[in-house]
Amino acid sequence: MTLKQSLKIGVASLFMAVAVLQPGQAQVPGVTRDSIKIGSFGALTGPGYLYGKLPMNGIEVVFDQVNAAGGINGRKLELVREDDRCDPAAAIGGVKKLIHEDKVFAIIGGGCSNATFAARETLIEAKTPVIIMASVHDGITTPVSPTIFSVALTSTIESQAQLQFALDQGAKRIAVISMRDAWGRARYTPLIEAFQKKGIKPVLDEEMAPDANDATAQVLRLKAANADAVLILLYPKPAAIFMRDAQKLGFKPLAIGQSGIADPAAFEDQVGSPGATASFRTISMVRYTPEDPAVDSWRKAIEAKFPGDRLSVFNLFGIGSAEVMVEGLKRAGPDLTQEKLVAALNSLKDFQTAVYPGGITCVEADHRCNKNPAWIAKEPGKPVRVLGITKVE
């Protein structure tokens, strides 16, 4: 080998070594010079697809817009989807696949609470930054994990907001009707704590089974207690039975739901008794209904990318969470690392999105970044409308 050849090989080796070692991004999972791979998990099939597939569709239209504008620091966003079917085991498996096989940089996901809660430990171990898009279970964000952020309302925040809304509406005799299964208790316990913090007691505290077919006894007791507002911690089906029986028995309190009954129009149909839901109010994670002209551009984007789909409130969940991720990625800068993304998300303070009712604020001690439920209602024969926003401290 001549000196010239040796020099050529030496220079080539040096370049190769630089190519391998120099760009830190090569060692960062899911990041190349021109792309960032973001994972998502949630139900793509089965009835839970509302909380999985539809938000993911929303994420994709945000990513398309960002990519059309040149990406983030020259990198295009790429979404990888995993179907957890709302099943805890499938969620754990899906998250492992995203992290270890697809090697995603970060995740926006989490539809059904039970599945997301089951995947929490896997997410914490992998230290992959995560933004929860729809799951409300408190256990996902509490105790705080350094890498898990949520832009979904949690059940505690919703319960506090329910009580606050009742008080803001001037209710003096507030009662509770709840299910006492795991879902119901996750809301009931913080609600009772919220009552205690305010120094008040519910005038009546009633129970209803998830498969109950009659609520006459509960309605009669609430009516006898002269409750002027009822905080409803029920699934849509028992809540619909309750509203029907309340109407039958002439009991018309302010009925205050939560995001388990997120669509007042569908709820009105389910109750199926004209006028029975006239005084029903419920929580929405976003400040617009799908019919609102303010979300026309999103409607067009969804309908163009997913022909046959109509804009849904669940699409908006995905749009909001994707906007937060995009902002985090921008703030993390061109030399992208997962640690920088986590730091960037922790720096979000009153960040305004196109859909959430209030600003998104994340701090290291509290990753429940959305604490601003919107209140929506539907009067008979009229469209769903947004009544206002409650800020939960």
From the list 65, 114, 273, 337, which residue makes contact with another protein (rule: CB under 8 A)? 273
From the list 144, 167, 249, 354, which residue makes contact with another protein (rule: CB under 8 A)? 249
Structure tokens at 201: 């007691």
Contact map string, positions 17 to 56, toward another protein, x by CB under 8 A: ------------------------------x---------
In whole angstroms, how close is the CB of 211 to another protein at the nearest point? 5
Q: Which of residues 163-182 bind another protein (CB under 8 A)?
A: 177, 180
Cα 302 to Cα 310: distance, rounded to the nearest angstrom = 7
In whole angstroms, how close is the CB of 198 to another protein at the nearest point? 24
Beta bridge partners, 284, equal: 374
Torsion on CA atoms 79, 42, 160, 181, rounded to nearest 10: -170
Strand-strand pairing, 205-207 and 35-42: unpaired
For another protein, give the closer residue by CB, 273 or 347. Answer: 273
187 binds another protein (CB under 8 A): no
Part in contact with another protein (CB under 8 A); list of ranges 75-83, 148-156, 161-169, 262-270: 262-270
From the list 14, 224, 304, 363, which residue makes contact with another protein (rule: CB under 8 A)? 224
Residues 6+ apart with CB under 8 A from 111: 41, 42, 43, 48, 50, 51, 52, 55, 84, 86, 133, 134, 135
From the list 113, 135, 141, 247, which residue makes contact with another protein (rule: CB under 8 A)? 247
For another protein, give the closer residue by CB, 52 or 109. Answer: 52
With H, G, I as helix, E, B as strand and everything else as coil, classify residue 375. strand
In whole angstroms, how close is the CB of 218 to another protein at the nearest point? 5
For another protein, give the closer residue by CB, 49 or 105. Answer: 49
From the list 53, 244, 367, 378, which residue makes contact with another protein (rule: CB under 8 A)? 244
Residues 6+ apart with CB under 8 A from 143: none
Part in contact with another protein (CB under 8 A); list of ranges 136-144, 160-168, 246-254, 294-302: 246-254
217 binds another protein (CB under 8 A): yes
Going by C-alpha positions, the residue among 340, 322, 362, 327 that lies closest to residue 31 is 340
Part in contact with another protein (CB under 8 A); list of ranges 65-73, 245-253, 339-347, 364-372: 245-253
Strand-strand pairing, 130-132 and 148-150: parallel
From the list 62, 92, 208, 295, which residue makes contact with another protein (rule: CB under 8 A)? 208
In whole angstroms, how close is the CB of 158 to another protein at the nearest point? 20
Q: Determine the number of helices (DSSP H) and then strands (DSSP E) in the chain.
A: 13, 12
Part in contact with another protein (CB under 8 A); list of ranges 52-60, 141-149, 164-172, 265-273: 265-273
Cα 271 to Cα 220: distance, rounded to the nearest angstrom = 19
Fill in the amino acid letter for 385.
R
Give DSSP secondary structure letters for 28-94: STTB-SSEEEEEEEE-SSSTTHHHHHHHHHHHHHHHHHHHHTT-BTTBEEEEEEEE-TT-HHHHHHH
Q: Kindly give the residue spans of alpha helices, DSSP state H, lying in 111-178.
A: 113-126, 138-141, 155-168
Cα 354 to Cα 342: distance, rounded to the nearest angstrom = 22
For another protein, give the closer residue by CB, 277 or 353. Answer: 277
272 binds another protein (CB under 8 A): yes
In whole angstroms, how close is the CB of 292 to another protein at the nearest point? 23
**Residues within the interface to another protein (CB under 8 A):** 47, 177, 180, 206-209, 211-214, 216-218, 220-221, 224, 236-237, 240-241, 244, 247-250, 266, 269-274, 276
